[in-house]
Structure 1
Amino acid sequence: MNQGDETDADAGQTPGDTRAARRAASPRKRRRKGWVIALVMVLVPVLAVGGYLLYLNVLVSGNVKHAKLLPDSGPTDLSGKEITQPDKNGTNYLLIGNDGRDGVAGKRSDVMVLVHVPEDRHNVTLVHFPRDLYVPIPGKGKNKLNAAYAFGGAPLLVSTMQNMLGVKIDHVAMTGFDGFQRMTDAVGGVDVQVEEASTSEGVEFRKGTMHMDGKTALTFVRERKQLSEGDISRGRRQQAFIKALMLKSLTPSTIANPVKLRGFLNAATTNLTVDNDLTVGKMRSEGFAMRGTRGGDIRFVTAPFSGFGRSPSGASIELVDGKKMTQLGTAIRTDTMDSYQE
């Protein structure tokens, strides 16, 4: 056959015909190329999000400090026998806001809030414990509740509260008041319900909803001398603020905003100390499980007291309502806080 003879399928076809034929002859290549493009389009955002989450994990892990904040044993009765806890009773967190360096005995704890997260992760209850409650402190006799922290740091405070309630506290988190201020600013401020009007440090707090930045919120939760019930009223202010901050931090405007989320997590964990068993993974899982929490799902109560009095040394104290405290402890221990009435 001569060199000029037509020897393949392209003979007599125009260039356009040749390209069309080649395209028709290679559908697998085209499909493969399409899958590659689709895969890249999916992987790029996934890797970007995954990388950002990894970055946040590293940030939080680097900030959070761990320490021995829990006692070696659970709650005991008057005879010293440990009180048995149900297998499924939710999770109890003790939040401590202190006025000194984290974890240092000799300082006083100004905020003591027990957060009960039920097994089904709905209707979270925050119980405020007034710092002047007059209670038995293991090995120290009777004294104000916040003296337990001064005598023996977080472990002694936890033991005191566990015995008072008959409830095991699973985890402890401690931070200074400045941490609350930074968290508030990181989310762009919070809307707090003001129950009682006052004027503190040049700031006028009027009844109703008030938007507060970090500095204003700090002034709000510290005030007690102008309030009708002193430390009790301040406790209610702290509850209102914590609720506002909690709700703002769980909104899409915070969680879905990379800049705001990073700022909040950094502020929340910079001076945060937690017990050795509370890993960053556990904190992340708990936060994810509670992402749908709304205002109506959060309930605040104050630990029951029957009135005011004076200690043998003449200090102003709040007297524990023993009967109601037992009811509160039972409701927490059996995960039935919905039935508890103040």
Structure 2
Amino acid sequence: MRKFIIIFGSILGVLFIGVVGYGFYLYNSVTKTVEQIHEPLERPISDKRDKEVNMDDQEPLSILLTGVDSTGDTHSGRSDTIIVLTVNPKEESVKMLSIPRDTRTELIGRGEQDKINHAYAFGGIQMTIDTVENFLNIPIDHYASINMEGFKGLVDALGGVTVDNAFTFEQGGFTFPEGENFMNGEEALAFARMRYEDPRGDFGRNDRQRQVVDAVIQEGAQFSSITKVGSILEAVGGSVRTDLDLNSIWSIQSNYKEARHTVEQMEIKGNNATINGIYYLQVPDEEVVRVSQELREHLELEHSTTASSQ
């Protein structure tokens, strides 16, 4: 009996050392990845807030997601995808708004009207944030930017994602039937980029982008993703940039994770316009105010009736 206890204790000791060792490895890997992707903003908080969001108190916050049309580990180019997330942990809900890349608005820092996705090319994430804040009259508290090539690696690292497709179409050599589709990274990127076969054009494309982002969020939150953490961190490290540091990431994971169960996809509408031979999406002031008020309410901010200059 004593021999059995000694053997059993030894096995438990080995297992404990293994778990602690893996935990230490995991912590170090996460820390190194966060240091690699961390790029703080020039300003500490949005000038559209009186004070910084207190994550420990579960105050609502906003995150700007941009997908940059670049390859490798570069983050230069135009923002192919612009999505605003507002997260209200008390309501356990997320609102997800896609801003069409051809939306005409003032680019803050250049003093001219142009397509909103040009802000990234001219002034990177800082000009993009300033421009989105001005356009929607909301604070952007944090950002995460991913290059589109790296996006494929992230989806593959997660083991793929499942998305419900509204209608059958072909894109990039793939066929996407109507209904539920399980996709690898290359397929997910092709699915998100299609617009010419969609009768809704860029609006339909924006819907698919939000679907894929939501699928990545949901898949990443699954317990099974823990076993894939090495490949996930590798994909993230080479393709993502964010102002969130390790403490902020832990705070979001601890205090905001339940909000992912209710994700509402929003749409901003506009009219086609050709100005000096260039195509734009012109969004009416009243539509900007409508969307702005909905987001401000979700962020528990006062309503505002102002709209940006179009």
> Given the two structures, how large is their TM-score scaled by the length of structure 2?
0.81
Residue aligning to 1:283: 249
Supply the AA of the counterpart residue of 1:204: T
Q: Does the 8 Å CA contact 2:146/2:240 hold for their aligned counterparts?
A: yes
Residue aligning to 1:3: none
CA distance in 2, matches of 1:263, 1:158: 30
Q: Is 1:165 equivalent to 2:136 in the alignment?
A: yes
SS in 1 for 2:104: strand
Deviation at 1:121, TM superposition (A): 7.3
Within 5 Å, which residues of 2 pair with 1:1-342?
45-63=15-33, 64-69=36-41, 71=43, 74-75=46-47, 84=50, 89-100=59-70, 107-120=77-90, 122-140=92-110, 141-255=112-226, 258=227, 260-275=228-243, 278-290=244-256, 292=258, 296-302=261-267, 304-320=268-284, 321-334=287-300
Q: Does the 8 Å CA contact 1:221/1:237 hold for their aligned counterparts?
A: yes
Report the aligned-residue RMSD: 3.0
Deviation at 1:103, TM superposition (A): 7.2
CA distance in 2, matches of 1:203, 1:334: 43
Deviation at 1:37, TM superposition (A): 8.8
SS in 1 for 2:216: helix
CA distance in 1, matches of 2:290, 2:259: 28
- Residues 327 and 43 (structure 1), Cα distance of their counterparts in 2 relative to 1, 3 Å cut: farther
Q: Does the 8 Å CA contact 1:191/1:210 hold for their aligned counterparts?
A: yes
For residues 110-146 of structure 1, the C-alpha deviation after alignment (integer angstroms, 9 at most, x for no partner) is: 1111222214372122221111111122233211111
Q: Does the 8 Å CA contact 1:70/1:158 hold for their aligned counterparts?
A: no
Deviation at 1:319, TM superposition (A): 2.0
Deviation at 1:249, TM superposition (A): 1.5
Supply the AA of the counterpart residue of 1:245: V
CA distance in 1, matches of 2:9, 2:258: 31
Q: Does the 8 Å CA contact 1:192/1:241 hold for their aligned counterparts?
A: yes
Q: Does the 8 Å CA contact 1:60/1:266 hold for their aligned counterparts?
A: no
For residues 12-40 of structure 1, the C-alpha deviation after alignment (integer angstroms, 9 at most, x for no partner) is: xxxxxxxxxxxxxxxxxx9xxx7x99987
How many residue pairs match? The answer is 290
Deviation at 1:108, TM superposition (A): 0.4
Supply the AA of the counterpart residue of 1:218: L
Q: Does the 8 Å CA contact 1:91/1:119 hold for their aligned counterparts?
A: no
Supply the AA of the counterpart residue of 1:66: H
SS in 2 for 1:67: coil
SS in 1 for 2:239: coil
Provide the identity percentage: 26
Deviation at 1:220, TM superposition (A): 0.8
- Residues 37 and 167 (structure 1), Cα distance of their counterparts in 2 relative to 1, 3 Å cut: farther
CA distance in 1, matches of 2:242, 2:157: 21
The runs of 5 or more residues in structure 1 that have no matched partner are 1-29, 76-81, 337-342
- Residues 292 and 85 (structure 1), Cα distance of their counterparts in 2 relative to 1, 3 Å cut: closer
SS in 2 for 1:131: coil
- Residues 144 and 43 (structure 1), Cα distance of their counterparts in 2 relative to 1, 3 Å cut: farther
Supply the AA of the counterpart residue of 1:328: E
SS in 2 for 1:270: helix
Deviation at 1:98, TM superposition (A): 0.2
SS in 1 for 2:38: strand
Q: Does the 8 Å CA contact 1:85/1:333 hold for their aligned counterparts?
A: no
Q: Determine which structure has greater relative contact order: mean sequence separation of CA pairs < 8 Å that are 6+ residues apart, divided by chain length.
A: 2
The runs of 5 or more residues in structure 2 that have no matched partner are 303-310
